[in-house]
Amino acid sequence: MLRRHLIASLVMLPLSFAVPAFVPSASAADTVEVLLPPWGTLPKAMTDRLAAETGTALDTQTLGWDQILTKIATSMIAGSPPADATEVDWSWVGQFGAANWYQPLEGVVDAATIADIPSAKLFVFNGQLLAVPYANDFRVLIYNRDHLKRAGIAAAPTTPEQLLADAKAIKAKHISQYPIALPLSASEGSATAWYLLTKVFGGELFNDQFEPQFVKPDSAGYKAMAFEVDALKSGLISPAATGLKDVEVQELFKKGEASFDLAGWAGNVAVYSDPAKSKVADQVAAALMLTTTGTARTIGLPEAVGIPASAKNKGGAKAFINWFVKPQNQIDSYQTLGNLPTRTSVLKQLNSEGKLKSGDVILQQATLVDPLFKQGTPVWYPQFTSAVSSALNQAAKGELTVAQAVAQIAEQAQSAMQP
């Protein structure tokens, strides 16, 4: 069963890697090879400090999220390490843990630090910590204050209905042609936005027996997808969204073309507020996630760094991970890359110093993060999320009805669960 899931996940992911970006290192003897996405690739000032403080130089390969998973899977199946330390997404834990691909990290990072990182529990498989979180990715509603003010809107919306009403008001006054920024392409970012909206509408994807809970028209998942499709048809989401990934949709907000980043990464509040990276830097604010129940639930999609079991320089990789999660380095990563710190103490420090953008909202939302799977991320997640992204994209394009799309997802999910 495990090998079938691993091979299936490879089939679903793009096999052509982007040209990697390498950071030259001083010498092979004290070099650590790391494989990370763009938002995990450290700027030169940080790598220089790492070398000065630890004697470790990074040889960094930067790839897209999907491409990293493909490279890890193909390398590990072939029996070779993809790097000394790599990205480990929350959604890969079941797959990697079942395959025994990663070095358990108990004792590698001290217990006090792990206790300061609540999302570390999402990277535990069979009682063993497989990776240490560096990016505290949970979702908030990010909005453009100026757009709301010009439309005569006094406060950020708190419900899906209010969001639609506000977006229509903004569009009617020609402030933004497509006020809601949301990805609808056949990609992971589109799938996770639907997962988030399922929480917004007060439901779960599966029950305790992993039975789909999103097929009936009165279910939260069904309502969430219908909400997305209706907003697109109403001209509140750009028709280009059916071909855009989440990072591309974010550019619409940074340019001032969208009023709401509906599935906004909490750390992106800092990026959007940076005049060097955003045209709307002085107009950005965050609000608690929309809700239909009165509780602003959200999802946490943290990212971590782990050490492949076959890594050549495990000692160097351990040194890098310990250095990466130190308070000052989490702060620098947040300020330069938008990675919201995973350490609770660091978040509180930044907020007390006035350096955490929309800090009170961020801290409040952090207490309302729900796991996507209460039982832990299942080994068949890659097949499930691929089914979601494909069906959602087809529904957005009008190739499937919402009823057909959710039925297709449920069928493929149940098929993926079979031994």
pLDDT digits (tens, 9 = 90+) for 245-287: 998 999 999 999 999 999 998 989 989 999 999 999 999 999 9
Which one is the CATH code of 139-299+380-417: 3.40.190.10, 3.40.50.720, 3.90.800.10, 3.90.1310.10?
3.40.190.10
Q: Give 41-54 pLDDT, tens digit per residue.
A: 999 999 999 999 99
The sheet carrying 260-265 orders its strands as: 180-181, 260-265, 139-144, 284-287
66, 246 Cβ separation under 8 angstroms: no
| Residue closest to 183 by CA, chosen among 234, 135, 253, 136 | 253
pLDDT value of residue 21 = 36
**If we measure between CA atoms, which residue out of 102, 148, 142 comes closest to residue 124?**
102
**Amino acid letter at 25?**
S
Nearest residue to 179 via CA among 221, 206, 142, 208:
142
DSSP category for residue 351: H
| Residues of each domain in the chain carrying CATH 3.40.190.10 | 2-137+301-370, 139-299+380-417
Contacts of 303 (CB under 8 A, 6+ apart): 37, 40, 87, 88, 89, 90, 133, 134, 135, 137
Q: According to the model, what pLDDT value does residue 55 have?
A: 92
pLDDT band at 11 (very low <50, low <70, confident <90, very high): very low
- What pLDDT, in 10s, does the model give residues 382-405? 899 999 999 999 999 999 999 999
Place of tokens 């939302």: 365
Confidence class of residue 25 from pLDDT cuts 50, 70 and 90?
Answer: very low
SS3 206: strand
pLDDT, tens only, 115-124? 999 899 889 9
Count CA within 13 A, CB hemisphere, residue 255: 12
The confidence score (pLDDT) of residue 17 equals 34
pLDDT class for 209, splitting at 50, 70, 90? very high
Long-range Cβ contact pairs of 324-329 (< 8 A, separation 24 or more)? 324/132, 324/134, 325/109, 325/113, 325/117, 325/132, 325/134, 329/46
Q: Using CA atoms, how far apart are residues 72 and 95, in angstroms rounded to an integer? A: 11
In which element (H, E) is residue 197 found?
Answer: helix 188-200
Gap between the Cα atoms of 302 and 60, Å rounded: 21
Express each pLDDT in 330-366 by its tens digit.
Answer: 999 998 888 999 999 999 999 999 999 999 999 999 8
Structural fold of domain 2-137+301-370: D-Maltodextrin-Binding Protein; domain 2 (3.40.190)
